Amino acid sequence: MKDFGVFLSNLRSSAGLSLEDLAKLVESSRSSLSRLENNDVPQPFRGTMRKLVLTLAEILCTSAKETERYLKLAELDRTLLTEPEELQLGFRHHITPGSANEVETLERWIRIYEQLLSDLETREMALGISNSPPNLKLKIQEYTNTIQEIQRRLDTLYGRQELEEPDIIPHIQIHTAEALEGKIVVGHQYGETLRNALSMYNLYSLASQNARWLMQLADVERFAVDDCIILTNSHDFAGWDRDEIKTTILRTRLPIPDDLEKLIQEKLPTIEKDYFNSSHYRLASYTPSFSDLDQLEITLAPLNFHEYYSLTPFFDEPLLAALDSSKVSIRQKYGNTALTYSSTARGTSLIPAPVSIQCIVVTADQHVLLMRRSSSVAFYPNHWSASFEETMNAPGTDRKGKPSRAADSDFFAGAIRGLDEEFAIPESAIESIKVLSLNTEYLTLSIDVIIAIKLTLTSEEIRENWLLKAWDRDEASKFATLSTDLTTIVNKLFSKTLWHPTARMRLIQFLFHTYGVDEVAKAIKAKKDAMQTESKAS
């Protein structure tokens, strides 16, 4: 009995909830919760107290293992749970296709899940959606996903079809992992596939098939270029300054679905032998750009390299079980949540993915830096970048077990660190630095923070620093520059270049930032018309 109160208290602390906030969520009182945590309520729990204990498990437990431990300490026999209680706690069996009670069970389950979802959304509203703890958002998103999965299966069984069913393109088989020097490499030769698929586009049809598929899966429409999809952007891409972004950093990791956690443990041996387990961040939420708040509010949570890289190379392999026991990929099962991060909307992404600081650097002599990534990097080897990328670092230890000095307090700190490590450029050489947007990258599902940096150094000065002083110079194999002239960049956008999947988005957002959206749209249309004329002539 004594251990139950301690376990409950630890779960609440891990969720970052005070007794008052948790009391609001479960429609109870601070005193009742305090009595539970102090083991002042006799077991076995009965009536309303039993219901409260189960609701606490639903909200606070983040895995099946945790829930089973909770029930054991609470002396609640799992075999005595009702069906709604089993579903509430995440204990769901598979329904065999063609079984005698298939339709009846699915219909009953969808009613149960809809009620569970409604109850959680009501509880979240009482606390305030922007104050919703991450594990509650995850539970809401899991219920939503399950309802959608059951509904699709019922539609198939009943032969129903939406009147205006979106033309979702088939799941794209894309090569995401390849052995290179004994390691797993994500995105190897990705750009060749992309380049061959591109033809003549205007500004608003630059999204790849991958990006369009993901947006339709998530039932949203956003501006996208290649495999990069905008989540939110600064007004007219003018950029946010440091004092216009408020960053909150959570102390504990976000929970993830049990099947993903299990897959991570299975894949860890493949990853651990080649890669150091660096400490990074993932995005928990952001306030949308239409918010009335004066600042863009960002919430981050810790995430280690092994945790997400155990999944990333296998996003498109059929490794997870659907409701009918069929095998589906991680992207097929959870990809619809990859564009869900807003603190003012319910739900959150269920797939762990890092925050990637992606900087486009402009020199004093009006050039953009282009760098070709080396063949040894874990993501997109040999691809051209505009200008560099850095995974956002969280506090952790270095390879020698000592505390890392490279933790990033916000997006700007990550960009400044990247400048120093990649080019040996000090913060004093920065004339201006602005965050233009937050984006999702299809292949890795990372959150890409596009940042424009203007330096007081010339192209040649930067090149000399890179060659002779940069600590991480080996992450790139070649240095090049491109004039910031509008026509020059637009021409480069349509050249036969093995681009990093967000490089063209970065270049276009830089053009938006510099020349305005309308002028850029006209320039791209003019380029398209010229290419069409040239094609007809040949």
For residue 52, the domain's CATH number is 1.10.260.40
Residue 83 falls inside a structural domain? yes
Question: Tokens 């480069």 identify what position?
Answer: 492
Q: What's the order of all strands across the beta sheet hosting 296-304? A: 245-249, 296-304, 279-286
Q: What is the pLDDT, as a whole number, of residue 161?
A: 57
Same domain, 117 and 83: no
Cβ contact 365:459 at 8 Å = yes
Same domain, 106 and 82: no
Residue 202 falls inside a structural domain: no
- What is residue 107's three-state secondary structure? helix
Q: Do 71 and 115 belong to one domain? A: no
Are 379 and 523 members of one domain?
Answer: yes
- Which of 127, 158, 189 is the C-terminal boundary of a domain? 158
Do 425 and 514 belong together in one domain? yes
pLDDT of residue 166: 47
- 420 and 387 in one domain? yes
DSSP letter at 204? G
Distances (CA, A) of 490 to 72, 99, 200, 507: 63, 58, 13, 9
* Residue that is last in its domain, among 158, 178, 203: 158
Assigned domain for 139 exists: yes
The label of the residue with tokens 């007004």 reads 235
78 and 144 inside one domain: no
Instruction: Clarify whether residues 11 and 82 are in a common domain.
Output: yes
26: domain range?
Answer: 2-88
Q: N- to C-terminal Cα distance for the chain?
A: 83
Within this chain, do residues 79 and 118 fall inside the same structural domain, yes or no?
no
Q: Does one domain contain both 461 and 362? A: yes
Q: Is residue 269 part of a domain?
A: no
Of 119, 121, 135, 17, give the one whose Cα is nearest residue 67. 135
Into how many domains does the chain fold?
3
Alpha helices in 38-175 (DSSP H): 47-60, 64-73, 83-88, 102-127, 134-158
Q: What is the DSSP string of 444-511?
A: T--EEEEEEEEESS-HHHHHHHHHHT-TTGGGEEEEEEEE--HHHHHHHHTSS--B-TTHHHHHHHHH
54 with 110, same domain: the answer is no
Residue 380's domain is classified under what CATH number?
Answer: 3.90.79.10
Domain boundary, last residue among 158, 178, 199: 158
Asked whether residue 142 is assigned to any structural domain, the reply reads yes
Let me know whether 118 and 55 are in one domain: no
Q: How many CA atoms lie within 13 A of 474 on its CB side?
A: 4
Residue 315 covered by a domain: no
In a domain, residue 349? The reply is no
| Average pLDDT per consecutive 10 residues, the chain (538 residues; last block may be shorter) | 87 91 92 94 92 95 92 94 94 84 93 94 83 84 89 84 48 53 70 57 81 91 94 94 93 90 93 88 84 82 94 92 88 92 80 97 98 88 93 79 75 96 96 97 96 98 95 91 96 90 96 96 89 77
pLDDT for 163 equals: 41
492 domain-assigned: yes
